[in-house]
Amino acid sequence: MERVTLSVEKRERKGKGGARSLRRESIIPAVVYRGGGSTPIQLGAKELARFISRTAGEQVIVNLKSSDDTKMAVVKDYQVDPVEGNLLHVDFQEILATEKIKVMVHVVITGEAIGVKRDKGIIQHGLREIEIECLPDKIPGHIKIDVSSLTIGKSVHVSDLKLDEGIRILTDSDEMLATVIALKEEVVAAPAEGVAEAAEPEVVKKGKKTEEEGK
């Protein structure tokens, strides 16, 4: 599994006001969680944004290097400004090489299903990520599923996944990951001419009646 080293510093400025002032200085506030505790840290915005962009959709072990020590962690979550698209905050989860960890891993669909290529169906995605438990060195960057053999009406479920030894899947085995469905053509029936013609005089009559009543 890929590993990346990021330089971090202990964060003194906290709260919304402190976070805003840090961002104005191109510094991103972050938190490292471990058990029931947490440690506030900060990272350079440019380096962190480059890391998030490059590893989007992948699980990567991060070495958070400070002047005191280096903590091994994974990205648990991050927030992005919905308007500007700028990185706002990152949550890291500290991990130990000898302890199993629960993480969410993205599911990547590969191949073109027979039901799509030959039978003109469409592929429908289910879960985009699943939860697993394993030692840090066993964490896959992502999980690939090949849908090439899927015909219309067939699906791939979590129970169909075959992962390496030592990886336990925590997500419900019945959850669907991908399926191929038939493309239904919607036919809109045109209104019958007789009905349309009958409706028009009715509207005219009502209009005339209204005019007469108004006199």
Q: For domain 102-181, which CATH number applies: 2.170.120.20, 2.40.128.50, 2.60.110.10, 3.40.50.720? A: 2.170.120.20
Give the dihedral sign, CA 130/134/136/137.
Answer: negative
* Distance separating alpha carbons of residues 213 and 205, to the nearest angstrom: 12
pLDDT digits (tens, 9 = 90+) for 168-194: 999 999 999 999 999 875 545 555 555
How many whole angstroms from its chain centre is CA 203?
53
- Same topology, domains 3-95 and 102-181? Answer is no
Residue-range domain boundaries for the chain: 3-95, 102-181
Q: In this structure, what DSSP letter does residue 58 have?
A: S
> Could you please report the per-residue DSSP string of 18-52?
HHHHHHHTTEEEEEEEETTEEEEEEEEHHHHHHHH
pLDDT digits (tens, 9 = 90+) for 200-209: 444 444 444 4
The model's pTM: 0.75
DSSP, collapsed to helix, strand or coil, labels residue 185 as coil
Bridge-partner residues for 38, per DSSP?
A: 33
pLDDT digits (tens, 9 = 90+) for 151-173: 999 999 999 999 999 999 999 99
* Distance separating alpha carbons of residues 198 and 157, to the nearest angstrom: 55
| Residue 72 neighbours by CB distance under 10 Å | 16
In this prediction, residue 41 carries a pLDDT of 96
What tokens were used for 55?
């590893």
Of 2, 91, 106, 87, the C-alpha closest to 48 is: 87
Q: N- to C-terminal Cα distance for the chain?
A: 87
CATH superfamily, domain at 3-95: Ribosomal Protein L25; Chain P (2.40.240.10)
pLDDT digits (tens, 9 = 90+) for 27-48: 999 999 998 899 999 999 999 9
